[in-house]
Amino acid sequence: MAQADFAYQPANDAAGMPLAVSIFADRAHLRETLREDAGAAGFRIAQCGEVAELLAGETADEVRPLGEVVLVDCPAADAGILAALARLDMRAARSGAQLVVSTSVAALDEVFACLDQSCPQILVDPTRAERVIALGRVLARLPNLRLRELSEDDRLTLLRLTEQVGQIAERLERMGAGGALPPRGLVSEDSVFRFESPAPAFSGQDDDPSERLVRAARPPLPDPRLVRRIIRQRQLRARFFDGELFADPAWDMLLDLTAARVEHTRVSVTSLCIASGVPPTTALRWISQMTEAGLLTRVEDETDRRRAFIALTDRAMDAMARYFAEIGKAAAQLL
């Protein structure tokens, strides 16, 4: 993927100075790629080194200053790296820096558990196109960019456009490598942003007190056997059709979490990514958007700080219970 495939407005702060980015990655070729892409996006490279430099900077008496954007690659995470990431997460939350962390499926649960302050972007075994998409999302999220003047609709359009550009770039990259284009479904990954503005039912606004007094009690959650059978039937379609034709990660995750709630089991972020039926990085974007929309919540493990789980909020659980109550006997016939 050529650097010229992507063009951004200069990433400048309020004073017109280029925004600084800090890059920490042990793989030399990846550091160079991140440097090229960040430079193409208009960032100033403040630091570029191995993850060990992040560890040293985090434990020194004088903490090394970081850029407005911090890119970290840690496919494997030992105790030292996790501790450094947790401190970095707190620093980013205090300073408003944008944190982008790439990792592997094997390390995802531990990395996710220690990043609970700064709302970071977490990428799982990302392609170069996915990393570029993450930089594009940074440009839309930083409050001191000129993008802050965009309306919410314009911002959403920009995010969707960035995602689509990334998809095109990835396909061109595969063509350049001599690979055949994969079949594409009717559902585009840009729908991952549909929860950017929550629906009224999940707006988070307080209901009228008098309405709460007369609201009917929530019906019970469905039999988990029913939910699991629905999930299996949905998965069965992939044996006969391109899975992307039916990609609906939000619903698949809601079903999985509903069954888990009734079964009194906890769902890790890795398990939920698998249940979503889409690549982990895409699933994590869904989880982030659904959390912001008030559908999902993060639950810390009280016995092990290295783990965290995802659960339905009370409002989402109420909606799922009412949905299954509405379909009633027709759903019960599936058992």
Same domain, yes or no: 88 and 127: yes
* Distance in angstroms between the alpha carbons of the first and the last residue of the chain: 50
Please state, for a pLDDT cut of 90, what percent of the chain lies above it.
43
Q: What is the pLDDT of residues 278-299, one digit of tens each?
A: 999 999 999 999 999 999 999 9
Decide: residue 106, CB within 10 A, 0-12 exposed, 13-18 middle, 19+ buried: middle
| Residue 117 token pair | 């302050």
Task: State which amino acid sits at residue 49.
Answer: G
State the average pLDDT over residues 48-58: 78
Q: Confidence band (pLDDT; 50, 70, 90) for 167?
A: low
Domain carrying residue 308: 200-332
Cross-strand pairs, 23: 48, 71
Q: Greater confidence, 147 or 64?
A: 64
pLDDT at position 169 = 55
Residue 266: pLDDT above 50?
Answer: yes
Pick from 136, 155, 182: which residue ends a domain?
Answer: 182
Instruction: State how many domains the chain has.
Output: 2
State the average pLDDT over residues 317-333: 82
Q: Beta-carbon neighbour count of residue 307 at 10 Å?
A: 18
Q: What is the pLDDT of residues 169-188, one digit of tens each?
A: 555 555 555 544 444 333 34
Same domain, yes or no: 149 and 94: yes
Pick from 126, 156, 182: which residue ends a domain?
Answer: 182
Lowest mean pLDDT among 101-115, 248-262, 319-333: 319-333
Q: Would you say the C-alpha torsion 292, 294, 295, 300 has a positive or negative sign?
A: positive
With respect to residue 207, please indicate whether it lies within any of the assigned structural domains: yes
- Most confident segment among 47-61, 197-211, 290-304: 290-304
| Residue 130 token pair | 């996915």
Same domain, yes or no: 172 and 210: no
Task: State which amino acid sits at residue 247.
Answer: A
Half-sphere exposure (Cβ direction) of 301: Cα atoms closer than 13 Å: 17
Produce one character per residue of 310-330: b if its CB has 16 or more CB atoms within 10 Å, e if not: bbbbebbbbbbbeebeeeeee
Cross-strand pairs, 312: 296
Same domain, yes or no: 94 and 160: yes
CATH, residue 248: 1.10.10.10
pLDDT at position 245 = 78
Q: Confidence band (pLDDT; 50, 70, 90) for 53?
A: confident
pLDDT at position 4 = 36
pLDDT at position 228 = 92
pLDDT at position 188 = 41
Same domain, yes or no: 107 and 43: yes
Same domain, yes or no: 280 and 244: yes
Residue 34: pLDDT above 70?
Answer: yes
Lowest mean pLDDT among 162-171, 182-191, 203-212, 232-241: 182-191
The 3-state DSSP class for residue 69 equals strand
Same domain, yes or no: 10 and 74: yes
With respect to residue 171, please indicate whether it lies within any of the assigned structural domains: yes
User: Which has the closest alpha carbon to 259: 272, 249, 277, 278?
Assistant: 272
With respect to residue 42, please indicate whether it lies within any of the assigned structural domains: yes
Residue 108: pLDDT above 50?
Answer: yes
Same domain, yes or no: 160 and 20: yes
Q: What is the mean pLDDT of the chain?
A: 77
CATH, residue 87: 3.40.50.2300
With respect to residue 189, please indicate whether it lies within any of the assigned structural domains: no
With respect to residue 117, please indicate whether it lies within any of the assigned structural domains: yes
With respect to residue 192, please indicate whether it lies within any of the assigned structural domains: no
Same domain, yes or no: 22 and 158: yes
Q: Confidence band (pLDDT; 50, 70, 90) for 48?
A: very high
Same domain, yes or no: 227 and 310: yes
Same domain, yes or no: 45 and 127: yes
Same domain, yes or no: 114 and 254: no
With respect to residue 36, please indicate whether it lies within any of the assigned structural domains: yes
- Most confident segment among 48-62, 177-191, 273-287: 273-287
pLDDT at position 243 = 73
- 171 vs 173: CA distance, rounded Å: 5
Lowest mean pLDDT among 70-74, 156-160, 227-231: 156-160
pLDDT at position 258 = 96
Residue 200: pLDDT above 50?
Answer: no
With respect to residue 26, please indicate whether it lies within any of the assigned structural domains: yes
User: Which has the closest alpha carbon to 244: 178, 161, 166, 167?
Assistant: 167
